[in-house]
Each structure stands twice: as C-alpha cells, then as structure tokens.
Structure 1
Amino acid sequence: MTRTLIRDVRLIDPEGGTDQPGALLIEDGLIADLLPPDPEGDFDEVIDGNGKHLAPGIVDWGVKVSEPGERHKESFRSAGLAAAAGGVTTIVTRPDTLPAIDTPETLEFVARRAAADSPVHVLPMAALTKGREGREMTEIAFLRDAGAVAFTDGDRVTEDTRVLARALTYARGLGALVVTHVQDPGLSRGAVMTSGKFASLRGLPAVSPMAERIGLERDLALLEMTRARLHADQVTTAASLPSLLRAKEQGLDVTAGISVHHLTLNDFDVGDYRTFFKLVPPLRQEEDREAAVEALASGLIDTLGSMHTPQDEESKRLPFEGAAPGAVGLETLLPASLRLVHAGRLSLPQLFRALSLNPSRCLGLPTGRLRKGAPADLVLFDLHAPFVLDRWRMLSKSKNTPFDGARLQGRVRGTWVAGRRVGGA
C-alpha cells in the first residue's frame, strides 16, 4: 500500500467551511488522514505543496462530450485531459449527442469509451424523453440500471406538460433525479440576447428574463404535484430567485445550478458580436449576475459548473445570430470562478461547496469532501498565479472560450483521481 503525503498546504474543506494549514495523507486511493503541515512519519512519496491550496476535486455537472456523433469537437480522451488540467476529477456528461443517449445500449457504449479513454471519472446522464423530442419518456428504470446518474433533455424544454409530469412521477418511484432547463420555449425561441436597451442597440433578437421565471414556475408546480427530485440546470436571473427560495422553504426537493459564464460575464460582453459569448441561456444583465453571485454565496443556488459545450470553428465563424451557441469551460472553470474569490464575493470554502460538495450531495457521491475515508480526488492550485489565457494552448479539441486573451489568476498545480496524479503543472 503506497502512502503519499501532500505537505504544507492550505486545506479547503467545504463541508466544515474551513481554510487552514495542514497536510493530507493518501492511502489506497482514499484520504487516510488530515495532519499538521509538516508531520513526521514513514511515507513512500512526499509532495511539497509550498503553501498552495488543496481542495476536493471539482465535480463538473453538465459537460458535453461529443461522442457519439461529433467526435471532432470533443472526445472522452480530450475532455478527460482538459478536465485533469483544470482540476476537475468528475465530469457529469449530458445526453445531447448524435444520437441522443436514450437507450441502455448507447449509454453502455459511452461508459465503455469513457472508462477506456478518460483519466477522470465520467458519470453519464441519460435523455428524459426519446430522441430528446419531448413526446415519449425513455426507459428510465433500464437506463438507471445501466448507470445513468440523472435524466435530462439538456437545453430542449419538454413543452408537453403531461409528458414531463409523467416522467417526474415515474422518476419519483425510482428515486431518480430529473434535470430541467428552465425557459419558456415560446418566448425564448430564436433569442440570442437578454432583452433590454443594449440588445436593442445591437439589433439582436432578445428574450425577457421572465421566460426563465415562467419555465421555473411551471417545473416547480409539477414538482409540487409529483414530489419528485428536480435540479434546475441554469437559474441565471434575479426574477427567478424568489420562486426558487419559496420552493425550498416549502420543502420541495429542488436544487439549482449556474454556469461560470453567467456568474462572471454579462450581456455587455456581446458588444463586439463575438460568437464565443453566444450561450444558452444568453448572458444576462449585470443586475442578474450580481443577484446570482449573492444567491450562490448564500446557498440558494447550489452548484456551479462549466456547462462545457464544444463547437468547431465553422459553426462559430458565422454572424452572431446564426452561430452555434456554447463555450468550453473544463480548463477555465476554476480560474474564472476564482475571480469571485479575488473580488471578495466568495470564500474558498463557499466556492468549493458549489464546485465539489453540493454536486456530490445531489448525485449521492462520496466525493467533494476532505475527510478520512473519502476518495482522494483532489486539486492543488496556486490561488495567486497570474496568466493570460491562450485558447490554442488548451487541451480541449474545440477552442470556443469567451476567456481567450483574458487575464486570470489561479493555476492548477496538481490533480489526483483516486490517489493517482493525472494532471497539473
């Protein structure tokens, strides 16, 4: 049994809410002990942290890996390497592939490819309806037995309320988690910006923030009716937060997430029509971003992820309205999120509560914690190391990041999965 000591680090414990000096011992892929910064003992390997921060590895919920169907955009190997470079130890993948992951056979194919090619854990979600078309629910029980950790149609809203109600009812009987994209499809269809003066000045089709609130209110009403488990994948507007708070106070089993892009960028970033800033939902106004930061800090919004969506150059080199939406984020999730720490808006334990602990809790995983017996899925990072992001140096196959050329602060120095080092400088 190999005993690896990571000494002289600051241990970030999101469960206890602490940030303190110490050392961590790894044995047999697990955290064996938390120790003083420079302990004595017999160790097979000693890694000097040099005062850097050590935290639970990131669990990135909502990652698109383009296998099957669009492997040229992202493969399990390239996504896994990008994740390891970014401190992500578990990626929870979306089913919006070609074809959609809506059968046990497709899910098993994905699981085999992930196990063979990715250096980090890969947990697949499966489609909620067949073909993600919103007409007939999938075989949720069989897909769950095949390894699906949750069920979602991604950014396609199930417009037929009866179909969604049946799916929630069936999922409740199995204890399965349903993930929905909270937008009113009629209002949001064709929109590429959030409505307001800036969208009008740019001449782009826009959608009111109320489209999100309407979508969320419908899903919460169905949740109240069915008493299932629900995760709203992107709650990004101030108008939606009172509805979410009310549902939680009523005791409904609901959680919510947000992407790092919606937490650190706003609609003004679309000013030059650069298509790397075209996202689903669109970037919001600064008031919405500020409200979302406060909601994440308070715990009202539970999870923070990259919503990693690779697109090739051809689909992005189009006029803004016609370009494909989405941005990659596996490698930029941590340094971009650290902007909020450097600005004094979040503490490191609060940040890793959203990046690691809460996603693990929602999915019933043992990860996201610094405690004896927990998996040794870890990230060591230099909080203060500055750099300018060059998208061509990224490990993702697709390079569509809105942070290209941005000044960021915080670099990953090491990533461990089950005690094995898989990435970091």
Structure 2
Amino acid sequence: MSHSENRTLLRAARVLGGEPQDVLVEDGRVAAVGQRLPDTATRGAEVIEADGQVLLPGLVDLHTHLREPGREDSETVLTGTRAAAVGGFTAVHAMANTFPVADTAGVVEQVWRLGQESGYCDVQPVGAVTVGLEGRQLAELGAMFESAAGVRVFSDDGKCVDDAVIMRRALEYVKAFDGVIAQHAQEPRLTEGAQMNEGAVSAELGLTGWPAVAEESIIARDVLLAAHVGSRVHICHLSTAGSVEIVRWAKSKGWNVTAEVTPHHLLLTDDLVRSYDPVYKVNPPLRTEADVLALREALADGTIDCVATDHAPHPHEDKDCEWGAAAMGMVGLETALSVVQHTMVDTGLLDWAQVADRMSLRPARIGRLTGQGRPVAEGEPANLVLVDPGHREAVDPAGFASRSRNSPYRGRELPGRVTHTLLRGRATVREGKLV
C-alpha cells in the first residue's frame, strides 16, 4: 500500500455536519481546523476537495467477525479490514468465535498482529469468556489482558454465557482491570431449533419461533449481576422493545450497563422471512416493526449507546441453500453508515454529531480504545472519514471488499457514500476506492 504525503488538507469539509471548514492533517494528527486556513499554513499539502461533504471521526465497530484463524474461506483479517476501511471504520473489535477460539493470549496476539500487518484499520481482539466458548470454565482473561493485544472486552458471542455462576465470576474477574463482558443474550433452552422471530409471521410460515423473552430474560439477569458485582456488562446486538426497557431501567439505576444495536435491526423486519431467502437469517432474528421503531428511538435518546455491525461473513455455500440449513449472519461493514443515515439521519432522529457519538466516540470508550473515537480537533489523531450524504446508489455486493457477499441490502438503494478514510493521516480509501 502506498503512503501519501504526511501533510493533507481537507478543504471545505463539514465537520460533524456543521459549516464547511478546512482541516489540515500533519504527521498523523489534526494540525489545524478553521475556515479558509491561510496558504502559508497549508503549502505543500496534498489537497482533498471535500466540497461540503461531512467529516466524521473514523468509525469504531465493537462487533466484527473477521473469521481468521480457521474460516479464511469467508473472511480474513486483511479482507475484513479492507471492508471496514471502505465503510469508514478505522478500528474494529474482532470477535472470539474463530477456529481455534480466541481464548488464550497466543490466539489474541496472532489476530492483533495480523491486524497490524494489514494496515487498513486497527484490530482489537475480543477474548472469549469461557474455554472453547463452551460455557463451563473461564478462559485466560488475565493473560489475554496482559498480552500484547491488551484485551479489555470479552465475549462468547455466537453463544450465550447462560450459566449465572460463570457469568458472575467473569464479571468479578474483569473488574480488576476495568474490563467488560459483552453478552450475547440468548437463553438456549428457549431457542432450541428456533429459525426466526416468534410471532405472527413464524406462526403463518410454520417455522420454530425465537421468543423475545429468550433475549430479555438474560439481559435482566445480567444487569442485576453487574449491579451486584459492581462491574461492567455490555449487551450485544439488542433486538427487542422489551430489551430496550430493561436497559433503560438499569441505566436509570446508575448501573454500568451499555448496549449496541446492529444496522439491520434498525431497518429490516421479520416480514422479509416470508421470502424464505436465507440472506435474512440472522442471530438474533429480525424482529417486528414495533421493535425496529423502539430500537431507533432508544438509539436516538442514548439508551442504546452505539451501533455495531455484527459483520458476519459466510461463503455462498453456507447461505445459498434451504432456510433450515443456512448459516445465520449478514455482512455489514460496508453498508453500516448508509443504513444509519437512512434510518436515523434522514428521518431526523440523529444529526451527524450524534452519529459520530454513536459510531465512533462511544464504541471506542466502551472498548477502552485510546487514539480512536476522538473528536475532530487540533492535536487529535487523524482517524477521519469523509462522507458524501447526497450520494444514492443500489447496493451491489459483487463490488464488496469483503470476501463474502451475504448482504441483505442487495439491490436496495441506500444514501451516502464514504469517499475517503484516513488512518492516522494516511488514506486507506480515496475517492471511494481502496488505496
């Protein structure tokens, strides 16, 4: 990958959607922000004509499946971080459900090093909570924290830590180094054989239903455990109106609870399952219109802290099959910002400054990342993304940087396009193309 000059001028960029300003980047940091910076200050800089595009801090994803090691047929750290850069992300958290599982210092260091080598965005490994994601014995949480990867977030995502004693012990253990347990809330006994959201559509289609209470009961238990222990719990891919109410209640008590929502749960409903197209099969399942509206409102009022993609790539043979046999998951890195613009900005629920908060500042804070999720201000690291909100285009997964194509938005017109992504001042995406 070629290195650009160490001085770049973003001319007439709307920082957080405000008035156009010039932003000078020098040696990986923001050197100056102001209206019409003087030529003497910007001489010799590479100029990017922003033309009033929106400038945001680089996006941070708390929930990405990069599949390496073990499932390089669906994604690698390199292809996943390329997809992240195209989507405007400068940092991702790589989930632990790899082969082998990221449950030791050795595996998380391997993922971290692969991220450093790829150079397209920062990769922060997430460690498993339990050995082999089996829910029976705590993994080496302390060793993963003390490793070169400095793991602070632990999750058995893909599976729920359903044993209350194990969950309590994990919360107690990570408290010592200000870690967080990110829970995939799914009571396994209530979802055996479940194929989609339990409701009118599942009854009509004759598919085994996945009740909202399977998610809500685990969230209720875990916010109570976190409060009891005085530790931090983060709720992954929250998907129901009831879950929102539980998180809202926990926060009203002042408990250390955070939550994320995926772009697809902000837009898509279980009605789409009528097509039996496995591209809509996901965990947690697509819910009802009422749930979607509750999630949008909760993201707007801050009950839900952030948007996380749950980017879950699968090779075509795992998706292009009958519904019952298909793998669960959707790719999301390259379309996340467009879906958030469509569901939250264009509807008036969030402005661009709030998008920066929910997609950069807060996820970086929850993941305890330093140098990411920082304001666009003098002296800060130049992790930046330039977005053209007026652009509209039908989604074509054939052009994705990801190795997988399982996008639920194929052929759907979405607004906004990332034109430039800068990682510490170096362009990883220029004019919408990878560098």
d(CA) in 2 for partners of 1:8 and 1:222? 49
Letter in structure 1 aligned against 2:305: D
- The reply on whether 1:360 has 2:364 as its aligned counterpart is yes
C-alpha displacement of 1:149: 2.9
> The residue matched to 2:285 in structure 1 has which SS?
coil
Q: How does 1:290-369 map to 2 (within 5 A)?
A: 290-340=293-343, 341-365=345-369, 366-368=371-373, 369=375
- The reply on whether 1:130 has 2:131 as its aligned counterpart is yes
Q: How does 1:62-141 map to 2 (within 5 A)?
A: 62-141=63-142
Letter in structure 2 aligned against 1:421: A
TM-score (norm 2): 0.94
Q: Is the 8 A contact 2:23 2:33 kept in 1?
A: yes
User: What are the ranges of 5 or more consecutive residues in structure 1 without an aligned counterpart?
Assistant: 13-17
- The reply on whether 1:193 has 2:192 as its aligned counterpart is no
d(CA) in 1 for partners of 2:116 and 2:220? 38
Cα deviation, 1:49-98, whole Å, max 9, x if unaligned, reads 11111111110111001111011110111111111111111111100101
Q: How does 1:235-246 map to 2 (within 5 A)?
A: 235-246=238-249
Letter in structure 2 aligned against 1:21: P
- The reply on whether 1:55 has 2:64 as its aligned counterpart is no
d(CA) in 2 for partners of 1:131 and 1:222? 23
Q: Is the 8 A contact 1:137 1:167 kept in 2?
A: yes
Cα deviation, 1:183-216, whole Å, max 9, x if unaligned, reads 2221123212111111111221112212211010
C-alpha displacement of 1:261: 0.5
Q: Determine which of 267, 270, 283 is the counterpart of 1:280.
A: 283
Cα deviation, 1:221-249, whole Å, max 9, x if unaligned, reads 11111111111112211111221111112
d(CA) in 2 for partners of 1:203 and 1:348? 42
d(CA) in 2 for partners of 1:66 and 1:424? 26
Letter in structure 2 aligned against 1:79: G
> The residue matched to 2:405 in structure 1 has which SS?
coil
Letter in structure 2 aligned against 1:70: R
Q: Is the 8 A contact 2:338 2:415 kept in 1?
A: yes
d(CA) in 1 for partners of 2:359 and 2:110? 28
C-alpha displacement of 1:179: 0.6
C-alpha displacement of 1:346: 2.1
d(CA) in 2 for partners of 1:2 and 1:93? 29
C-alpha displacement of 1:39: 4.3
Q: Determine which of 378, 385, 398 is the counterpart of 1:379.
A: 385
Letter in structure 2 aligned against 1:354: R
Regions of 4+ moved over 6 Å: none
Q: Is the 8 A contact 1:177 1:230 kept in 2?
A: yes
Q: Is the 8 A contact 1:123 1:149 kept in 2?
A: no
Q: Determine which of 5, 11, 36 is the counterpart of 1:7.
A: 11
d(CA) in 2 for partners of 1:354 and 1:132? 29
> The residue matched to 1:271 in structure 2 has which SS?
helix
d(CA) in 2 for partners of 1:160 and 1:42? 60
Which residue of structure 2 lines up, in the alignment, with residue 42 of structure 1? 41
Which residue of structure 1 lines up, in the alignment, with residue 418 of structure 2? 412
Which residue of structure 2 lines up, in the alignment, with residue 234 of structure 1? 237
d(CA) in 2 for partners of 1:119 and 1:159? 35
d(CA) in 1 for partners of 2:212 and 2:10? 46
d(CA) in 1 for partners of 2:8 and 2:48? 8
d(CA) in 1 for partners of 2:429 and 2:192? 40
Q: Is the 8 A contact 1:58 1:356 kept in 2?
A: yes
> The residue matched to 2:32 in structure 1 has which SS?
strand
d(CA) in 2 for partners of 1:19 and 1:196? 43
Which residue of structure 1 lines up, in the alignment, with residue 222 of structure 2? 219
Q: Is the 8 A contact 1:95 1:152 kept in 2?
A: yes
Q: Is the 8 A contact 1:9 1:37 kept in 2?
A: no
C-alpha displacement of 1:388: 1.0
Distance 1:37 1:215, change over 3 A: farther
d(CA) in 1 for partners of 2:126 and 2:18? 33
Q: How many percent identity over aligned positions? A: 35
d(CA) in 1 for partners of 2:316 and 2:112? 28
d(CA) in 1 for partners of 2:161 and 2:180? 16
- The reply on whether 1:144 has 2:139 as its aligned counterpart is no
d(CA) in 1 for partners of 2:98 and 2:242? 31
Letter in structure 1 aligned against 2:20: P
Cα deviation, 1:371-410, whole Å, max 9, x if unaligned, reads 2222111111110111111111111101000011111111
Q: Is the 8 A contact 2:299 2:305 kept in 1?
A: yes
TM-score (norm 1): 0.96
C-alpha displacement of 1:352: 2.0
Letter in structure 2 aligned against 1:420: R
Bigger Cα displacement from structure 2, 364-373 vs 56-65 = 364-373
d(CA) in 1 for partners of 2:377 and 2:95? 29
- State the aligned residue count: 420
